[in-house]
A and B are shown apart, each in its own frame.
Chain A
């Protein structure tokens, strides 16, 4: 199993550009989530999904959209990038609520 994969590993955007961060898992997990981690800080939950077709907002959802059309994929869309969105983004999946979360390697995003 590849586990949780994220692409790209690094990305530089200009203010106002849009892009999609990809996340995929091959463990047949129902639960997936996106976090952002700013330097020296803990992770903050952006959006999460409890199954295909079901998504909900986390702690810091503004400026981001998600969709979950399949169990495997959970892309995160930045609608109009801002410097405040410069961060490392982690995707995670788990079998169920309260279960161990498996994290991807992260995407380091810089918005100029």
Chain B
């Protein structure tokens, strides 16, 4: 199972773009990269998933370079409500042993 490494915490201001990078040097060919968001006292919530290049949805973009050894979650114009913990997961299609690391605590200030 590929291990992921993320910054422990990040600070930002409202209206800024936030980029959180995740390293996964041992990613396997079948692995997908998935990001979750977790607010205090709630379960994690799916944000975005990708395999390669760039994926965009209504809340975020995910950039994955060709070697797939890292990925970057981009949150455009963050607001106070984006203060949360963000988890990067590398999840094999053929397995179900999802590993959540400690995540990145994002604190958005006014």
Q: Which residues of A contact B (CB under 8 A)?
A: 4, 31, 33, 35, 40-45, 48, 50, 58-59, 90, 92, 97-98, 100-106
Q: What are 10 pairs between A and B in contact, CB < 8 Å?
A: A31-B96, A42-B103, A45-B97, A45-B98, A48-B97, A90-B43, A98-B93, A101-B44, A105-B42, A106-B43
Chain B residues positioned under 8 Å from A105 (CB to CB): 42-43
Chain B residues positioned under 8 Å from A106 (CB to CB): 41-43
* Pick from A42, A43, A90, A97: contact of B91, CB under 8 Å: A97
B96 touches A103 (CB 8 A): no
* Pick from A33, A58, A92, A98: contact of B92, CB under 8 Å: A98
A97 touches B100 (CB 8 A): no
A43 touches B93 (CB 8 A): no
Which residue of B46, B96, B100, B102 has the most chain A CB atoms within 10 A of its CB atom? B96
Given contacts A45-B97, A97-B93, A103-B43, 9 further A-B contacts (CB under 8 A): A42-B87, A45-B99, A48-B97, A97-B91, A98-B34, A98-B93, A100-B46, A105-B43, A106-B43
Question: In the complex, A50 Cα to B103 Cα: how many Å?
Answer: 26
Question: In the complex, A92 Cα to B97 Cα: how many Å?
Answer: 12
Q: How far is the CB of A59 from chain B (nearest CB, A)?
A: 7
